[in-house]
Amino acid sequence: MKSKAAAILMALMALYAEVVFGKALPIREIYSDLPPECKTLNLETVESIPTVITVNGKQYNIKGQIQHGATSRVFHAFEQHDNSPKRCMALKVVDLEKIEHKQRNQATNEAKILGELNQKKVERIPKLFEIEQHPTNKTISMVMELAHHDLFDEITPHMGLGKHEWVRNTFKEILQAINPLHKIGFVHGDLKPENMAYFRAPRVINDQHFPTKDDPLVLKVIDFGGVMKKQELSKACGEIVTGTVMYMSPEQVAWCAAHDEEEFLARRKQFPLSTKSDTWSAGVILYQMLHGKSPYYWITKKYEHLDEEERGEKADAELRQTIFDGKKPIEFDEKYQDLPLLEIVKRCLARNPDDRPEIEQLLHEMDKLGHRVEQLEGKIEKLEEEAEDLREEKEEREEEKERDEEEKKDEEEEDEKYEEEREEEEHRLAEERMKKQAQENARLQQEARFRYEQEMARRRQAQQANLQFFWNNFLGGMNNGYGFFPLRNQFQNNQVGQNFYPNNNNNNFAPPRMPQLAMPPPLNVFLPQTMSPLPPPKPVQTQQQAYPQTQKFIFPGLIEHLKEIHAIRASEK
């Protein structure tokens, strides 16, 4: 139902615009052919808009709708001349038929005040080029200077981020925008971020002002429906007093909360309005920039679950009561307690208007604060330079220390590497020595075994030679008749041979003995490593026994021979 109602309402508005302003322009053509300095505008998407609006006989081409309300629309327009550049402007059209009597006074008051301020060439006020009230159409058309963006869009991304320098500079711009209005005796009455906007400071071309995208931005006050002169405040009627509850001062809330004319007059006398009401509103804006939330954020949060209309009604009612009675004081963040801006916020939000400073006084304080800040910034800059020097020295020392540590680490790594290489070399050499020692031991064992085998072979050969010699002598003695008979005397007298038994002094028979050979010690084949190889064995020196010269006889003559021997023995006896 709501979507259908919205569609019907948009269609009726389009028909009304076509009847009042002329032929409608399709939405697809809204953004074409805009001047370069107007490309950054955020235009609303609407079904249709008028192509041309005439004000005081001048035709203005419409290129888009900037914003709209229940009783007014603001268009993006420009005036086209044959030999002059396009000049971007804002064209506001107020439909008086849709406005109640109270709001109609506010609309006419805005046109009146804005015209008067432009005649006085008040600074920080939007320039008004044309104004016309149509008696037949019952509309008010105002052609004004086009804003670039409002203060709300400027401060929202930066609120509550601790950017104190930005807060100080922005608040000073706000004071500079309000002060010219106060100096000529006007009270704005509805200061808030949405009612302050940035405009391009125009340059002069052919005696005309044409802002460009390269011009600096200047903050100005807009929306003059609730503006009043100070000398007329005591006679102000409730129809003029307006404002946004969140930014209203306690005395302003008292005026707006009056239920009837009698109560309004009593409160107007008890709670007089002044320029210090704008000081309260400026303090609320400063509080928002510093803390990132409104002073009464808890009230809006309490009703955020409701729809927009119900939320607005209930929140505004509780806000009026809270601001008016002051039973719940405004809370300030302790982390800003040493910040000079916090003291300014507290003074601006004092409930008694007499305790609040004027805007001009705040400007002087901000200038002094800026001067102090500059001095402090100079000192801080100097300290930062010294700190930077110390930091660089510290970094150099740390770098030098790191280099020393790296060099020490490299040396340790080199030492470890050298030690590992040395250990590996020693291990390799030890393995080589062990290998060589094993080879040497094997060689020595082989040589010892070879010598042992040679020695054993020599011994076997010597034993065989001795045995052969023994048997040869033994058998030879038997063959010649001397083997088993004691022929000592015979051998002694025999010139041919020697005594076969030289050590035998008796005449008893003694068998021949085997010659005594000098036997070497047992051979150890497992020689110690320090023992030198054995010398070659010496030949065995044996004293050969001399036997008497023997004669070989044929066995048949043996008996005669023995007889001859016995005959010799018998004769000796």
Distance CA 222, CA 77 (A): 18
Question: What CATH number is attached to the domain comprising 79?
Answer: 3.30.200.20
- Examine the fold and report which residue of 324, 357, 390 is the final residue of a domain before the chain moves on: 357
CA dihedral 414, 416, 422, 428 (to 10 degrees): -120
Distance CA 320, CA 279 (A): 18
- Examine the fold and report which residue of 146, 163, 182 is the final residue of a domain before the chain moves on: 146
Asked if residue 305 is part of any domain, the answer here is yes
In a shared domain, residues 133 and 165: no
- What pLDDT shows up at residue 335? 81
SS3 content of the chain, % helix, strand, coil (to 5): 55, 15, 35
Asked if residue 330 is part of any domain, the answer here is yes
Q: How far apart are the first and last CA of the chain?
A: 184
Contact call for residues 268 and 256 (beta carbons, < 8 A):
no
In a shared domain, residues 6 and 130: yes
Distance CA 267, CA 251 (A): 8
Q: Retrieve residue 247's tokens.
A: 């930014």
Asked if residue 528 is part of any domain, the answer here is no
- 511 CB contacts (<8 Å, ≥6 apart)? 484
Distance CA 268, CA 253 (A): 11
- What pLDDT shows up at residue 30? 37
In a shared domain, residues 156 and 142: no
In a shared domain, residues 157 and 119: no
Question: Sign of torsion, CA 275 281 284 288?
Answer: negative
Asked if residue 411 is part of any domain, the answer here is no
453's enclosing H/E stretch is: helix 359-480
In a shared domain, residues 75 and 29: yes
- What pLDDT shows up at residue 374? 79
Contact call for residues 296 and 323 (beta carbons, < 8 A):
yes
- What pLDDT shows up at residue 474? 72
Contact call for residues 53 and 73 (beta carbons, < 8 A):
no
Print the domain residue range for 93. Answer: 1-146
In a shared domain, residues 164 and 120: no
- 455 CB contacts (<8 Å, ≥6 apart)? 520, 523, 537
Asked if residue 421 is part of any domain, the answer here is no
Q: Retrieve residue 563's tokens.
A: 């007889």
Looking at the 3D structure of the chain, how many domains does it have?
3
Contacts of the segment 422-425: beta carbons below 8 A, 24+ positions apart: none
With H, G, I as helix, E, B as strand and everything else as coil, classify residue 15: helix
- 199 CB contacts (<8 Å, ≥6 apart)? 126, 145, 146, 147, 148, 211, 217, 218, 220
pLDDT digits (tens, 9 = 90+) for 141-162: 999 988 888 899 889 888 878 7
Name the β-bridge partners of 66: none
Question: What CATH number is attached to the domain comprising 347?
Answer: 1.10.510.10
- What pLDDT shows up at residue 263? 74
With H, G, I as helix, E, B as strand and everything else as coil, classify residue 158: helix
**pTM listed for this prediction:** 0.60
pLDDT digits (tens, 9 = 90+) for 66-80: 887 767 888 988 876
Distance CA 246, CA 291 (A): 15
- Examine the fold and report which residue of 305, 331, 357 is the final residue of a domain before the chain moves on: 357
Q: What counts of helices (H) and strands (E) characterise the chain? A: 13, 15
Chain-centroid distance of CA 164 in Å reads 26
408 φ/ψ angles, rounded to the nearest 5 degrees = -60, -40
In a shared domain, residues 6 and 83: yes
Identify the residue whose tokens are 């930014």: 247
Contact call for residues 362 and 349 (beta carbons, < 8 A):
no
* Intervals of the chain under pLDDT 50: 1-34, 40, 205-207, 482-510, 512, 514-517, 523-532, 542-554
Q: Retrieve residue 405's tokens.
A: 């540590």
Asked if residue 423 is part of any domain, the answer here is no
Distance CA 385, CA 389 (A): 6
Asked if residue 527 is part of any domain, the answer here is no
Name the β-bridge partners of 88: 78
In a shared domain, residues 229 and 345: yes
Distance CA 131, CA 284 (A): 33
In a shared domain, residues 25 and 173: no
In a shared domain, residues 9 and 135: yes
In a shared domain, residues 169 and 129: no
In a shared domain, residues 68 and 157: no
Asked if residue 162 is part of any domain, the answer here is yes
Helix 340-348 and helix 276-291: axis angle, to 10°?
A: 140
- What pLDDT shows up at residue 500? 44
